[in-house]
Amino acid sequence: MRPFPKRQVNNNCRNKVFNYRLSRARQTVECAFGILSARFRVYRRPFECKLDTVDDIVKATCVLHNFLRNHTISTVNQEEDEIEMLRESQLLPIAPNRTRGANEAFLIREKFTDFYNSPAGSIPWQQKLVQRGHY
């Protein structure tokens, strides 16, 4: 999801709140993937498989990570050649997509903006941080 551009953020507290919350979410996700990529080699290069398979890989590695955190298991290092042995038919290239985001994406961003600024979705300290310029 893309943040609002600067021209749409100036003097618009609603959009600043959205950009702040999006930035915090991105930091959390980047940290989680950093932890996963340090443990699992599959994250060290781009995925070349179907999106459904990517979802399954992420879920499986999260479960494995949590299991390994709770249980002490000795690990055995394997040679990179053994790990890299995959049949060519298992990998499908992803076609490049250089299209501009659809109006649907902008509507979704607006829905998140409305939610983050509503009583149900706002957090008490978001306004203070946005006013200080943390967005």
* Number of domains forming the structure of the chain: 1
Exposure on the CB side of residue 84, measured as CA atoms within 13 A: 5
In degrees and rounded to multiples of 5, residue 64 shows phi and psi of -60, -40
Range of the domain at 124: 6-132
Q: Model confidence over 29-60: pLDDT tens digits?
A: 999 888 999 899 998 888 899 989 999 999 99
Measured between alpha carbons, how far is 124 from 133 in angstroms, rounded to an integer?
A: 16
> 48 with 90: CB under 8 angstroms?
no
Residues of the chain with pLDDT under 70: 72-101, 134-135
Q: CA-based angle 21:118:132, to the nearest 5?
A: 45
Q: Would 1 be classed as within a structural domain?
A: no
